[in-house]
Amino acid sequence: MPFVWNEIVKFGQIFGNRNLGSKVNLTNKMLFSFPGYNEILTGKADDSSINSNDKIPNPNETVLEQYAKNYNPIKVAAFASWDVFDYIINEERSKVYTSCGFEPSSDFPLSSDERLLNQLQKQISSPWGTVRLDGFTHQFAKAYINKHKPNLIFISYGETDDFAHDGDYESYLKSTKNTDALIKDLWEFCQGNSYYKDKTTFIITTDHGRGTNPTDSWKSHGKEVTGSDETWLIIFGKGVKAKGEVSNNNQIYNNQIAPLIRKLMNLPQKFGSDYGKPISLE
Ligand SMILES: [Zn+2]
């Protein structure tokens, strides 16, 4: 991951190297995707209603929905490779434009990029039935950024998880490297665009870990795989001090990400003992 380890490490903050005493953990006990993304996007685990990956509209309000309500729905959007995100973000109720799975862009009038992507997405097949290749998610997101200049955007890449579930280590590594390049591409795009330059904060994390058993835990996750609650977080851009890898008894939780986003976007915090506190960028 050359962008992370040669560049971000110099101007951002990287949490989760447990050998250095930096820990990031989930607070939900499910340790798979829908509960993880719900925790990240709402700031609170909800094991009683979010305990499967079924396509059930999320009863909880994400920061994206909160942004759409408090500001302008056009200025927030979500792009994801996995087709369950219409439900995680509750597109119907939230009014947040959510492009996921194999959905063609329906953001009419379509730009020429979107028309081409809609065709290519039908012509280049994905190895999976519910997850598209990350290049499509990335390019649909960029097309939306070019068109609407959103102030808050959520992008969920999915390839690494699925190649790992397949036990395909070579593709897992290639797609990890590709994800690093996609993040670099987005960052360079922002820094080359006057609307975003020096005004954009990137927050990158994962919905679950996969443990550290070298023989086979990389393939899976969940309650039965020890360490699936161990995650990581990378943050850089506006307002983030250069610290590199964080060390020294640092513990943060994935439920602190939504509170940080509320703080950065001037959204009201939600109160209650289960909500995390915003991660400090100092
Ligand atoms: Zn998985």
Scanning 104-232, the segments in alpha helix (DSSP H) are: 112-123, 134-148, 159-165, 169-191
CA of 161 to the centre of ligand 1 (A): 5
pLDDT of residue 183: 98
CA of 68 to the centre of ligand 1 (A): 29
Dist. CA 112–CA 172, nearest whole Å: 32
Mean pLDDT taken over the chain: 96
Neighbouring-strand partners of residue 220: none
Nearest partner of 27 among 13, 40, 14, judged by Cα:
40
CA of 206 to the centre of ligand 1 (A): 11
- Give the CA count within 13 Å in the CB-facing half-sphere of 49: 11
pLDDT over 90 (residue 248): no
CA of 208 to the centre of ligand 1 (A): 8
* Biggest alpha carbon–alpha carbon distance for the chain: 51
CA of 164 to the centre of ligand 1 (A): 8
| Higher local confidence (pLDDT), 25 or 281 | 25
CA of 222 to the centre of ligand 1 (A): 8
Dist. CA 92–CA 154, nearest whole Å: 17
Beta carbons of 143 and 105 less than 8 angstroms apart: yes
CA of 275 to the centre of ligand 1 (A): 25
pLDDT of residue 249: 80
Nearest partner of 232 among 65, 63, 5, judged by Cα:
5
CA of 78 to the centre of ligand 1 (A): 20
**In the structure, what pLDDT confidence band is assigned to residue 261 with cuts at 50, 70 and 90?**
very high
115 Rama class: left (phi>0) / alpha (psi -120 to 50) / beta: alpha
What is the pTM (predicted TM-score) of this model?
A: 0.97
pLDDT of residue 66: 98
pLDDT of residue 265: 97
CA of 199 to the centre of ligand 1 (A): 33
pLDDT over 80 (residue 215): no
Dist. CA 229–CA 211, nearest whole Å: 8
**In the structure, what pLDDT confidence band is assigned to residue 272 with cuts at 50, 70 and 90?**
confident
> What b/e string do you get for 4-41 counting C-beta neighbours within 10 Å, with b at 16 or more?
beeebbeebbbbbeeeeebbbbbbbebbbbbbbbbbbb
pLDDT of residue 214: 78
CA of 137 to the centre of ligand 1 (A): 18
Name the one residue in this structure whose structure tokens are 């904060």: 201
Nearest partner of 152 among 75, 257, 79, judged by Cα:
75
pLDDT over 90 (residue 229): yes
**In the structure, what pLDDT confidence band is assigned to residue 273 with cuts at 50, 70 and 90?**
confident
What are the pLDDT digits (tens) for 38-68? 999 999 999 999 999 999 999 999 999 999 9
What are the pLDDT digits (tens) for 115-161? 999 999 999 999 999 999 999 999 999 999 999 999 999 999 999 99
Residues whose CB is under 5 A from ligand 1 (ion)? 161
pLDDT of residue 281: 86
CA of 168 to the centre of ligand 1 (A): 13
Give the fold, CATH level 3, of 2-47+66-264: Alkaline Phosphatase, subunit A (3.40.720)
pLDDT of residue 213: 84
pLDDT over 80 (residue 179): yes
pLDDT over 90 (residue 239): yes
Tokens of 15: 């949490």
CA distances from 138 to 48, 57, 95, 133 (A): 33, 24, 21, 9
pLDDT of residue 153: 98
CA of 207 to the centre of ligand 1 (A): 9
Measured at the CA of 199, the angle between CA 11 and CA 3, to 5 degrees, comes to: 35
Strands in 22-25's sheet, in edge-to-edge order, are: 230-231, 22-25, 250-253
CA of 112 to the centre of ligand 1 (A): 34
Beta carbons of 142 and 148 less than 8 angstroms apart: no
What are the pLDDT digits (tens) for 81-128? 999 999 999 999 999 999 999 999 999 999 999 999 999 999 999 999
